[in-house]
Structure 1
Amino acid sequence: MAVMGLGFWAYQENYKTQQAIRDVRVLHAQIGGAHERLKVLNAEWAYLNRPDRLADLAELNFDRLGLLPLMPDAFGDVENIIYPLPDILPITNPIDVNSIGPSTEEDPL
């Protein structure tokens, strides 16, 4: 009886394993398809963002959008950026930290 039970269990595990292997193959195929679609989408994005195409679109839609074409002199240097200074917080509880304090010993000098 135990041998028959173990045989039945092994038979079921074999079919579960084969089904899991088929599922993994399907997932690998889906992942490969997703990678291919991603490559196509990246190629389309690069094609649509060509500088000459974007310049033509900016010229065609200037009346509606007011976009100006990019020129090399339109860019500045990082050194020309003025960053705001951080806020200075008020000192509310000052602590005296100087090294000259009240002394109980006589000064040798």
Structure 2
Amino acid sequence: MRSLLFVLTALAVIGSAFWAYHENYKTQAALDRADELHRQIAQSRARLGMLRAEWAYLNRPDRLRELAVINYERLELMVFSPTQFGRVDQVAYPSEDPLARVANSVEVRGQQ
């Protein structure tokens, strides 16, 4: 009986060691994957910063104004001025609900 207990204990220790070894490698693989994701995130953030700087550089008002003047004949672009913009209270909104008007005119199962 005693030898059976020793054998079972040895098998439990070997099984625990195998499980711990396997979990250690899974953990190391997960940590490596996390490090790779952190590197990719850092590269993406750096690229995003560069793209934002490039976008700001390309959208300078003086550059866009010059492009509008150069391409006026082909595109007929006009330069914006502050007098072309209105205030929100000057917008005329429709008095009735446009969805209610559309819903009333839709035919449903042969009925108007």
**TM bucket by the smaller chain?**
0.7 to 0.9
Counterpart CA distance in 1 for 2:33 and 2:87 is: 55
Can you give the 5+ residue segments of structure 1 that lack an aligned partner in the other structure?
A: 90-109
Can you give the 5+ residue segments of structure 2 that lack an aligned partner in the other structure?
A: 1-10, 101-112
1:39 equivalent in structure 2? 49
Can you list the C-alpha shifts for 1:48-78, whole angstroms capped at 9, x where unaligned? 1100011001111111111111112222222
- The structure showing larger relative contact order (alpha-carbon pairs under 8 Å, at least 6 residues apart) is 1
Poorly superposed stretches of 4+, deviation over 6 Å? none
2:81 equivalent in structure 1? 71
Aligned length: 89
Give the TM-score normalised by the residue count of structure 1: 0.75
Give the TM-score normalised by the residue count of structure 2: 0.73
Counterpart CA distance in 2 for 1:77 and 1:20 is: 56
Work out the percentage of aligned pairs sharing the same amino acid.
52
- Letter aligned with residue 53 of structure 1: R
Counterpart CA distance in 2 for 1:58 and 1:2 is: 79
Taking only aligned residues, the RMSD between alpha carbons, in angstroms, comes to 1.7
